[in-house]
């Protein structure tokens, strides 16, 4: 049986179409994805659901039906007697986790960073263009001009998602996590799967780094919930994970994997039951790896240069200078080393799964 119907509308100018249907005609967003450069939005209103799809090619209007019938394991495309196109597709069950496809990536920020428009007026810089086969996404996000953010209560169907504040501050509200709070530079949040949240306001020059798995996942709008909820339940389980708010000012430091560096743990390993480990490492003086290398055996290791300068040496790939905003993905079993210049390199490190 079919459960819902959507009229598919191709949009050559996706952003203008979405703006028109929302603000001129009063439609509301139900789902939008991907966040860094939306290509699909489902909106509803006036008794109809529309599926806006970014497309440069003009096309006839299509009716898309979602079905709970197990017979529909893949979309079926049929043509009605009047020539209308009908697509019957399985009901969306959330995200699809693509197979692991690891490769080395070095993404320098460069002199003229490539920022693209994303959701809610935010600017996005893609840190993993190849998405590691679609399994991971990492974005450097900024809001140049501060003030209220045109966001709405929403949630993400994801396996993993975290946000680290690189510069400025942002005020956020999360489901059952008390009153709105300010996340400042150095702080971090783990957004467990499907926790409702909203960005309220931010400073000028806000910059955050967001990592998600899988790369493409639905962002769902919750029109019924108002944040804050008036509840404080830090032990609430959201699909097997806990919410984490890491305050950099309260962190303790420990020796990192390379001599001359220390790290602080952001508390995400415990909250995800070992799915991920997130740390910030900083040089405490001049460093010299002296041939010492490290490697991992997991599915993902990501480094982002927060401040300072240094170098990254990766076996089989070469030596790369590190400056603030540069990032890298290092495949499993690949030896690498990190050195800092005199100004004290600081790195954000994300490993999936958590490893010693």
**Which residue range is the domain that position 137 belongs to?**
126-234
- Does 157 lie in the same domain as 75? no
How many of the other CB atoms lie within 10 Å of CB of 46?
8
- Rounded to two decimals, the pTM is 0.85
CATH classification at residue 173: 2.60.120.10
- Where among 207, 234, 261 does a domain terminate? 234
- Which of residues 80 and 249 earns the better pLDDT score? 249
> What is the per-residue pLDDT for 264?
98
Alpha helices by DSSP H, the chain: 14-19, 268-271
CATH classification at residue 78: 3.10.180.10
* 3-state secondary structure at position 186: coil
- Which of residues 25 and 356 earns the better pLDDT score? 25
Q: Please indicate, yes or no, if residue 184 is contained in any of the structural domains.
A: yes
> What is the per-residue pLDDT for 93?
65
Tell me the percentage of the chain whose pLDDT exceeds 70: 93
- Which of residues 309 and 85 earns the better pLDDT score? 309
- Does 77 lie in the same domain as 26? yes
Residue 216 has pLDDT above 80, yes or no: yes
Residue 73 has pLDDT above 80, yes or no: no
How many of the other CB atoms lie within 10 Å of CB of 14?
18
**Average per-residue pLDDT in the chain?**
91
- Where among 234, 254, 272 does a domain terminate? 234
Pairing of strands 197-202, 244-246: unpaired
- Does 145 lie in the same domain as 230? yes
Residue 356 has pLDDT above 80, yes or no: no
Q: Please indicate, yes or no, if residue 280 is contained in any of the structural domains.
A: no
Q: Which whole number is the average pLDDT over 161-173?
A: 98
For residue 280, name the pLDDT band (cuts at 50, 70, 90): very high
CA distance 276 to 353: 5
For the four alpha carbons of 113, 114, 119 and 122, in that order, the dihedral sign comes to positive
- Where among 234, 252, 286 does a domain terminate? 234
Residue 191 has pLDDT above 60, yes or no: yes
Q: Please indicate, yes or no, if residue 316 is contained in any of the structural domains.
A: no
Say which residues have a Cβ less than 8 Å from residue 70's Cβ, sequence separation at least 6: none
- Does 227 lie in the same domain as 150? yes
Q: Please indicate, yes or no, if residue 39 is contained in any of the structural domains.
A: yes
Q: Determine if residue 249 is left, alpha or beta; phi over 0 gives left, psi from -120 to 50 gives alpha, anything else beta.
A: alpha
> What is the per-residue pLDDT for 83?
65
Please report, for residues 18, 70, 190, 326, the alpha-carbon distance to residue 269 in angstroms, rounded to integers and kept in the order given: 38, 37, 10, 24
Q: How many Å separate Cα 71 from the centre of its chain?
A: 33
How many of the other CB atoms lie within 10 Å of CB of 320?
15
- Which of residues 88 and 142 earns the better pLDDT score? 142
Q: Please indicate, yes or no, if residue 7 is contained in any of the structural domains.
A: yes
> What is the per-residue pLDDT for 63?
77
Residue 222 has pLDDT above 60, yes or no: yes
> What is the per-residue pLDDT for 291?
66
Judged on CB neighbours under 10 Å (0-12, 13-18, 19+), 221 is: buried
Q: Please indicate, yes or no, if residue 102 is contained in any of the structural domains.
A: no
Please tell me the total count of domains within the chain.
2
Q: Please indicate, yes or no, if residue 193 is contained in any of the structural domains.
A: yes
- Does 162 lie in the same domain as 76? no
For residue 91, name the pLDDT band (cuts at 50, 70, 90): confident
Q: Please indicate, yes or no, if residue 181 is contained in any of the structural domains.
A: yes
């Amino acid at each position: 049986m079919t459960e819902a119907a959507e009229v598919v509308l191709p949009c050559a100018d996706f952003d203008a179409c979405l703006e028109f249907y929302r603000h001129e005609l009063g439609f509301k967003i139900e789902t939008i994805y991907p966040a860094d450069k939306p290509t699909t939005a489902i909106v509803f209103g006036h008794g109809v659901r529309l599926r806006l799809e970014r497309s440069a090619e003009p096309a006839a209007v299509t009716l898309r039906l979602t079905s709970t019938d197990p017979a529909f394991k893949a979309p079926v495309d049929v043509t009605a007697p009047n020539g209308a196109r009908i697509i019957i597709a399985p009901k969306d069950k959330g995200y699809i986790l693509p197979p692991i496809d690891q490769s080395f990536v070095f993404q320098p920020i460069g002199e003229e960073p490539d920022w693209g428009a994303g959701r809610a007026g935010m600017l996005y810089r893609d840190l993993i263009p190849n998405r590691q086969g679609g399994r991971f996404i990492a974005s450097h996000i900024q809001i140049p001009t501060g003030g209220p953010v045109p966001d709405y209560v929403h949630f993400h169907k994801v396996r993993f998602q975290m946000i680290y504040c690189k510069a400025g501050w942002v005020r956020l509200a999360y489901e059952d996590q008390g009153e709105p709070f300010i996340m400042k530079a150095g702080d971090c949040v783990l957004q467990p799967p499907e926790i409702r949240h909203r960005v309220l306001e931010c400073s000028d020059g806000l910059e955050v780094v967001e990592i998600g798995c899988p790369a493409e996942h639905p962002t769902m709008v919750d029109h019924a919930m108002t944040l804050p909820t008036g509840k404080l339940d830090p032990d609430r389980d959201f699909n097997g994970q806990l919410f984490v708010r890491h305050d950099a000012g309260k962190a303790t430091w420990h020796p990192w994997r390379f001599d001359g560096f220390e790290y602080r743990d952001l508390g995400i390993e415990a909250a995800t039951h070992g799915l991920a480990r997130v740390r910030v490492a900083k040089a405490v003086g001049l460093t010299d790896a002296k041939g010492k290398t490290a490697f991992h055996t997991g599915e993902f290791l990501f480094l982002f240069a927060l401040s300072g300068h240094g170098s990254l040496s990766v076996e089989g790939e070469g030596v790369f200078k590190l400056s603030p905003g540069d990032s890298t993905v290092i495949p499993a079993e690949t030896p690498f080393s990190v050195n800092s210049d005199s100004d004290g390199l600081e790195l954000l490190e994300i490993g999936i799964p958590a490893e010693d």
